[in-house]
Structure 1
Amino acid sequence: MTRPTLPATRAAALALLSLGLSGTAAQAFSYTDVQLHYGDGFRLGRNGIEETSRAVLTLEHFSTFGYGDFFAFIDLFNDFDGPDTNTESGHYGEAYLHFSGKAFGLGLGDGILRDIGADIGINHGDDFGVGLIGARADFNVPGFNVLSLGLYSYNNYLDPFDRDLDSTYQVTIVWNAPFEIGNQKFTAQGFVDFIGDQGSGVDDQIVFSPQLRWDVGNALGHEPGKFDLGLEYTHFNNKFGVTGVDDNSLTIFAAMKF
């Protein structure tokens, strides 16, 4: 069973999403991001319940269209620890289509609620698949480029343990907050998912994944917002609903945006 836990890339996408949609909904905007992560503390990978180290190459894309936006990423990863010296490769990806309420004429004024709209998504890996449908609200909060709340119906169509899983819910909070220390630019971003239980013996889950990014391109006198170095911590409580099996992983990463 080899699903990675790097969906914090969603936070970067939502940051640009909100910036891109802060003007007219029809404004075209897109970016592609390449990230390389390395760290340890991953369970239920090639080393079973024991921890494994993992390297991940992430390709991420975000773009807006007249009525919303599209976001997708794919992780290509290798686990290094296990019963032999060979590595084990795998993949995991997510794709989300969002329809902006403002683009359909929903008047929200200039209050704390920036936008609200409908989402449809899919999360898929080598032996894991989930379909999601729901809504996301984006908020105007000083100091944050992004603060959003999503509520989704969560339905497995592929399970790594071949269990008969009930449908449940997922609540997602995403944040992105830039700050500066001296002339150095940083970003604190991340997300937390709350996923309900899915029947007898399949516990509820929490995925908490904050990142701290340092804008190295800016520090070296180049264009800001193009090259970051960072740290990402992920706590995955009751991973895949398995009671008491938790990830506490820490990765270092480099990210380049095109």
Structure 2
Amino acid sequence: MKHLLFASLLLGSGLNAFSTTNIQYLYGDFEGATFMDTTQGAKQTVTAEHYRTFDYGDLFMFADYAYTHDGLQFTHKKNDLYGEISPRLSLDKIGGFSTSTGILKETYAAFQYNRGDKYHAWLYGAGCDLALPGFSVFGVNLYRKHQNIGDHTYQLSLNYYAPLADRWHFEGFTDWTARDILSQNQLLFDLTQTIGIKEGKLEVGTEWHYYHENSYHTDNDVFQAMLKYTF
């Protein structure tokens, strides 16, 4: 599986058809009982995201750098770095056939690698893109998740993008396992025209961050202020 993941990354880097990159700054009060929370006070996060398509699939990756003045809840570290890389190989394009029917647009072999300070996980499974009213993007991926902390499990991941009124849009993702659920959803307004930016796109808005851990019945429910620049 690792060899196939590596091969897909090589394809993604060499056969770029479309790509977009953005940098985000988020600020929110994460006081609580989960591993994502702070000992006290706010947390600042800088996120770099990249998405590209290629001849045989697509590739999404991100890295989060978080800082809190008084330290995180369990590690008491002031800084935290976490990232994921998620390549998918199109079964339609590799096989030379179409699975498009009804709301189903395309099917994939899906992979993911997660990495934190002391945590890592390999995920593999299947995914698809759906054509749903109101959404320009709606992806569904089901993975088998092997991780070095916690039990191996399955993960259902949804990602979505919906244009709203002029210069507004909604986007986000939801990850569900037997152990927990994480959902991050953003409502953003395009400032590009307002402040006369000639290159890239600057957006401002909010991210609703929700995390629930089943075993200990702990959660965090945080609205963060957000700036996003896409280039």
Shorter-chain TM-score range: 0.7 to 0.9
Hey, what does 2:206 align to over in structure 1? 231
2:110 to 105, 119, 123: 119
CA distance in 1, matches of 2:61, 2:191: 25
- CA-to-partner distance for each residue in 1:87-112, whole Å, 9 max, x for gaps? 71110000011111232223134631
Hey, what does 1:254 align to over in structure 2? 227
Q: Write the mapping of 1:1-258 to structure 2, written as runs, cut at 5 A.
A: 28-41=17-30, 43-45=34-36, 47=38, 52-82=41-71, 88-104=78-94, 105-109=96-100, 111-157=102-148, 159=149, 165-180=150-165, 184-196=166-178, 204-220=179-195, 222=197, 226-238=201-213, 242-258=215-231
CA distance in 2, matches of 1:234, 1:146: 20
Give the SS at the match of 2:185. Answer: strand
- CA-to-partner distance for each residue in 1:147-176, whole Å, 9 max, x for gaps? 22211101112x3xxxxx331111112221
Name the amino acid aligned to 2:212.
N
Hey, what does 1:10 align to over in structure 2? none
CA distance in 2, matches of 1:227, 1:110: 36
Distance change >3 Å, CA 135–CA 145, structure 1 → 2: same
Asked if the contact 1:46–1:81 (Cα under 8 Å) also holds between the matched residues in 2, the reply is no
Q: TM-score, normalized by length of structure 2? A: 0.82
Instruction: Give structure 1 stretches of 5+ with no counterpart.
Output: 1-25, 160-164, 197-203
Distance change >3 Å, CA 45–CA 171, structure 1 → 2: closer
Alignment identity in percent?
30
Number of equivalences: 211
Higher mean C-alpha displacement, 228-237 vs 242-251: 242-251
Name the amino acid aligned to 1:194.
W
Asked if the contact 2:23–2:229 (Cα under 8 Å) also holds between the matched residues in 1, the reply is yes
Hey, what does 1:5 align to over in structure 2? none
Name the amino acid aligned to 1:111.
G
Asked if the contact 1:46–1:79 (Cα under 8 Å) also holds between the matched residues in 2, the reply is no
Q: C-alpha root-mean-square deviation of aligned residues, in Å? A: 2.4
Q: Offset of 1:127 from its aligned partner?
A: 2.1
Name the amino acid aligned to 2:226.
F
Distance change >3 Å, CA 45–CA 80, structure 1 → 2: farther
Distance change >3 Å, CA 118–CA 52, structure 1 → 2: farther
Distance change >3 Å, CA 223–CA 99, structure 1 → 2: farther
Asked if the contact 2:71–2:78 (Cα under 8 Å) also holds between the matched residues in 1, the reply is no
Hey, what does 1:16 align to over in structure 2? none
- CA-to-partner distance for each residue in 1:39-68, whole Å, 9 max, x for gaps? 112542574xx5542111111112222211
**Which 4+ residue blocks in structure 1 deviate beyond 3 angstroms?**
218-225
Q: TM-score, normalized by length of structure 1? A: 0.74
Instruction: Give structure 2 stretches of 5+ with no counterpart.
Output: 1-14
